Structure 1
């Protein structure tokens, strides 16, 4: 058996030619623009929406925490997708919904806290400033009605067709009999693809209401283990957040505007 390996530089063998064919063109069925107007392609605001989601998270600190000093927060949207239906006919090109809006992201939190440092006598408590950065994820879906209709996507088409062939059956069959069918060694197809404008989102603002509560606080002085006057520390908090953010849904569309003189 030969171990010789065959190297193929080209997957498809093409008939190459030095000639350049002239392409033909014709105008599309775009409506005629009246005099004094122009047809432009610009982002169209489909609507602004205030979306509210609720989250509960357990956060563990790597060092003991005597108290939280500050929390800086930022909403990050990873996915904002408006799911529209497809166009059913040439007269059904725009729709205002309702459509589902899928949103996925997280709240980035930088927690600045004081971590206690004890002296030998245990009378005074010094602290070191530390910080912990966490990401609290969220994912939700909300149904929206658009202020301005969205352009619906046009579906692709794909149709197969065959040619009739009469072939000899070969030995063992009468000569007058033929194989009447199409040829399975051939494939014929007509297809169209539409490149539809995809709606997208922009994040405008956010508002966060949060409660952070320690669940394992311990006192430094055993005689005052249940007294609020005793200094203490904890490692875990339960966080409850109500996050409201405003997103703007847009889509590039062809709009007719009045031309400047």
Structure 2
């Protein structure tokens, strides 16, 4: 019998190993028509970059290694920020609005460097050891004048008190009668964003070791160039140019 006349053998179907799949059916799509509405002078409330600075942080640390190391193979580093806080120290008034631009401030930063250290131990043909350590740092920088790309804006609260004279004698103060006026302004808080971290470091054993000798402590001298961006949500009006918008007098009692 001719082999060409024999029925073909069924090939075993490939197993899916628990992975289910379904062929997708194409659907139609169409353009959505929109009707633009002209805006004469639109106003936006958006994050504004106040400053973008590179701060140099210098830190030294001792990291214990167990089991002891004979050779450092690789060190990976990342920065984690716990705080980026702007503390204003000088102001300039914005007309009679009761709001002020910041002309000088201290920028506080804090966080830690997460280090992942891979090293060889004294045992031959042993797997690489891994040590994770957090190196903390804090510091501040002075921001003045041209350091600000756009100045922060703050409004201050105001408390007023009026006292009265006795209507009977016109000679004595009324201790039971007062008039109070309290204005509370709520400001957008400046905040920070991590942009970049550039590390320069020297790692060594603080104690001399012989050839192939082991050491328990790794001393690190780190110079970190930390770039952060400081922002504040502000109200901006678009027109021929962009201008910052602040409220006018909010019930302030002025002489």
Contact 1:94/1:149 (<8 A) preserved: no
Q: Alpha carbons of 1:197 and 1:65: their partners in 2 closer, same or farther (altered >3 Å)? A: same
CA shift for structure 1 position 62: 2.7
Contact 1:208/1:241 (<8 A) preserved: yes
> Are residue 210 (structure 1) and residue 185 (structure 2) matched?
no
Secondary structure at 1:36 match in 2: coil
Contact 2:92/2:102 (<8 A) preserved: no
CA shift for structure 1 position 256: 1.2
Contact 1:66/1:115 (<8 A) preserved: yes
CA shift for structure 1 position 160: 3.2
Structure 2 unaligned residues grouped into runs of 5+:
1-38, 241-255
What is the match of residue 159 of structure 2? 158
- In the TM superposition, structure 1's runs of 4+ consecutive aligned residues that sit over 6 Å from their partners are none
Give the distance between the partners of 2:208 and 2:216, measured in 1 at CA: 8
Query: What are the equivalent positions in structure 2 for 1:1-261 lying under 5 Å apart?
Result: 36-85=40-89, 87=91, 89-91=93-95, 93=99, 95=101, 97-117=103-123, 125-144=124-143, 145-163=146-164, 181-183=173-175, 189-219=180-210, 230-258=211-239
CA shift for structure 1 position 218: 4.2
Give the distance between the partners of 2:173 and 2:237, measured in 1 at CA: 53
CA shift for structure 1 position 202: 0.9
Secondary structure at 1:232 match in 2: coil
Q: Alpha carbons of 1:137 and 1:194: their partners in 2 closer, same or farther (altered >3 Å)? A: same
Give the distance between the partners of 2:162 and 2:95, measured in 1 at CA: 29
Q: Alpha carbons of 1:160 and 1:78: their partners in 2 closer, same or farther (altered >3 Å)? A: same
C-alpha distance after superposition, 1:27-61 (max 9, x if no partner): xxxxxxxx721111111112221111111111111
What is the match of residue 16 of structure 1? none
Q: Alpha carbons of 1:193 and 1:235: their partners in 2 closer, same or farther (altered >3 Å)? A: same
Contact 1:217/1:235 (<8 A) preserved: no
Give the distance between the partners of 2:165 and 2:110, measured in 1 at CA: 53
